[in-house]
Amino acid sequence: MPVLSPVLDHIDKHLDDSLERLFSLLRIQSISTDPAYAVECRKAAEWLVNDLATIGFEASVRQTPGHPMVVAHHPGPRPDSPHVLFYGHYDVQPVDPVELWETAPFLPEVKEIEPGRKVITGRGSSDDKGQLMLFVEACRAWKAEHGQLPCRVSILFEGEEESGSPSLKPFLEANKEELTADFALVCDTDMFDPETPSICASLRGLVGEEITIKAANRDLHSGMYGGPAANPIRVLAAILADVHDENGRVTIPGFYDGVEETPSQVLKSWETLGTTAENFLGPIGLSEPAGEEGRSVLEMVWARPTAEFNGISGGYTGKGFKTVIAAEAQAKVSFRLVHKQDPAKIREAFRKFVRERLPKDCTVEFHPHGGSPAIQLSYDSPFLAKAKAALSDEWPKPAVMVGSGGSIPIVGDFRTYLGMESLLVGFALSDDRIHSPNEKYDLNSFHRGQRSWARILDALSR
């Protein structure tokens, strides 16, 4: 069995080269939610296929009705070596408001943000291009030093993760045999803190919903009609205001069906991590938890469901003032789910909740934006113990098991369609500003992350 240490040395020596490759990928404007960037998404997929081919992967761009997938395979040392499927996504979030970026979102740089702390700037640097390249670079180092990889490795890179993954399920079903491995590796999560690597054991689900309230058949002058005419912004505000009670609980009937109380020993282990409302909210300029009263911030994020309003618009929103009563108003609403909450039931319950509050003259249109249940991984998987040890060898502090507030629907899909469990290891940090202006990825994450995956591949092969 080849040894690990030359692989780690290779990574150290070639860090600058790996950075150049990441920069090339970050320059591609692969915003999946906006149809105007479809060509850029394809470009990112092709770039990845070309790069994987240079490491000896049999790699291809695979058509879907939306943005393409990248699928690649590399043999292991033996036909019966452990087989892993690595998953990442090459698409990114929109960059607006673009005027708040300090560096151009698609012109990555390395910047020293405090003495000794360098970061990679740019949209996708952390979510998820920086993270997926860690694994590619770990494979490259293994291949360069030993001519082979320690496991059988398949790769699936998606281009629609930030826009609801419409093509994913059919693709998994159609390619079940090709994509099924012993288990999946997913690199799209955070470290607990800059010194503590993390394995994520629970993930919140997500239901996205867009609602449009319509009243009059056209925009109205608020002087001529103000009073008698229904105002859809007023109707929308009243409905949204009803979604939470004064203690931060969601009031939609049936919303908490399937939500379990977190076992007290788990809550206690989270308490030891030292996260407080102050240190969690302080960096983002807040101090008072806005979630359900009487729960810690970690519990709110890792084990409680939410209703969030992600966007709202209606009427005149430009400069100056316009005395208009709009014909319609929209909101984008999402729900984070935990445990056994059912996405379809939550969506239906919300729609009923809205319809019940609609004045006679108004109509509502709903548009779904994806839905996925929460995931709770089994704590006793053998892969998990190996990965935990490998991570603990690389980083200053031992690895911890955490939850994640975000949704990674792929984990549920792998379970549903391929019968495959996932191991979630990521090196993002909570100040990476993913989905926001000035997204970054720590250079340390990029370096030690490559070494971490090199170690995990080694550990899994034993």
Q: By CB under 8 A, what part of segment 15-34 binds a second copy?
A: 33-34
Is residue 280 within the footprint of a second copy (CB under 8 A)? yes
H or E element at residue 451 = helix 443-461
Of the candidates 67, 73, 204, 451, which one interacts with a second copy according to CB under 8 A?
Answer: 204
Q: Interaction with a second copy in 350-369: which residues (CB under 8 A)? A: 359-361, 369
State in angstroms the smallest separation of the CB of 35 from a second copy. 7
Instruction: For strands 183-186 and 422-426, give the pairing.
Output: parallel
CA distances from 143 to 36, 52, 418 (A): 38, 11, 28
Is the Cβ of residue 226 or residue 253 nearer to a second copy in the bound state? Answer: 226
Smallest gap from Cβ 126 to a second copy, in A, equals: 10
- Residue 212 contacts a second copy per CB under 8 A: no
| DSSP code for 42 | H
Binds a second copy by CB under 8 A, chosen from 79, 116, 285, 294: 285
Is there binding between residue 259 and a second copy (CB under 8 A)? no
The residue range among 2-10, 74-82, 175-183, 291-299 that interacts with a second copy, by the rule CB under 8 A, is: 291-299
If one asks whether residue 196 binds a second copy (CB under 8 A), the answer comes out as no
Q: Which stretch binds a second copy (CB under 8 A): 18-26, 63-71, 93-101, 151-159?
A: 93-101
Site for a second copy in 322-351 (CB under 8 A): 322-326, 329-332, 334, 336
Which secondary structure element, helix H or strand E, spans residue 404, and what is its range? Answer: strand 400-404
Q: Of 19-27, 78-86, 374-382, 401-409, which part binds a second copy (CB under 8 A)? A: 401-409
CB 215 within 8 A of CB 231: yes
Q: Minimum Å distance from CB 343 to a second copy?
A: 14
**Contact (Cβ atoms closer than 8 angstroms) between residue 363 and residue 165:** no
Token pair 């009031």 in the structure block, residue: 251
Asked if 247 and 292 touch (Cβ cutoff 8 Å), the reply is yes
Q: Which two tokens stand for residue 101?
A: 């970026």
Question: Min. distance of Cβ 119 from a second copy in angstroms?
Answer: 15
In the list 3, 284, 344, 385, the residue contacting a second copy (rule: CB under 8 A) is 284
The conformation of residue 261, written as its DSSP 8-state character, comes to: P
Question: Interface with a second copy includes 435 (CB under 8 A)?
Answer: yes
**Options 191, 297, 377, 424; binder of a second copy; rule CB under 8 A:** 297
Distance CA 400, CA 412 (A): 22
At residue 110, what are phi and psi to the nearest 5 degrees? -100, 130
Interaction mask 152-191, a second copy, x per CB under 8 A: ----------xxx-------------------------x-
DSSP, residue by residue, 358-392: --TT-EEEEEEEEEE--EE--TT-HHHHHHHHHHH
Q: Is 231 in the site for a second copy (CB under 8 A)?
A: yes
Distance of CA 269 to the CA centre of its chain: 25
Helices within 106-245 (DSSP H only):
129-146, 168-174, 176-179, 222-225, 232-242
| Smallest separation (angstroms) from a second copy to the CB of 372 | 12
Q: Which of 38, 61, 104, 229 binds a second copy (CB under 8 A)?
A: 229
Cis-peptide into 257, omega within 30 deg: no
Binding to a second copy, residues 27-66 (CB under 8 A): 33-35
Give the shortest CB-252-to-a second copy separation in angstroms.
Answer: 14
Q: Does 116 bind a second copy (CB under 8 A)?
A: no
358-391 burial, b at 16+ Cβ within 10 Å, e below that, comes to eeeebebeeeebbbbbbbebeeebebbebbbebb
Q: Phi first, then psi: what are they for 359, rounded to 5°?
A: -60, 155
**Whole-number Å distance between alpha carbons of 126 and 134:** 11
Minimum gap (Å) between residue 341 Cβ and a second copy: 14
Q: Which residue lies nearer to a second copy by CB, 14 or 369?
A: 369
Identify which range of 42-50, 74-82, 277-285, 377-385 contacts a second copy by CB under 8 A: 277-285
Number of residues near a second copy (by CB under 8 A): 100
Q: Which is nearer to a second copy, 74 or 304 (CB)?
A: 304
Residues 6+ apart with CB under 8 A from 157: 45, 48, 69, 70, 87, 88, 89, 90, 132
What does the H/E/C string look like for 88-104? EECCECCCCCHHHCCCC
* Of 104, 178, 225, 376, the one binding a second copy by CB under 8 A: 225
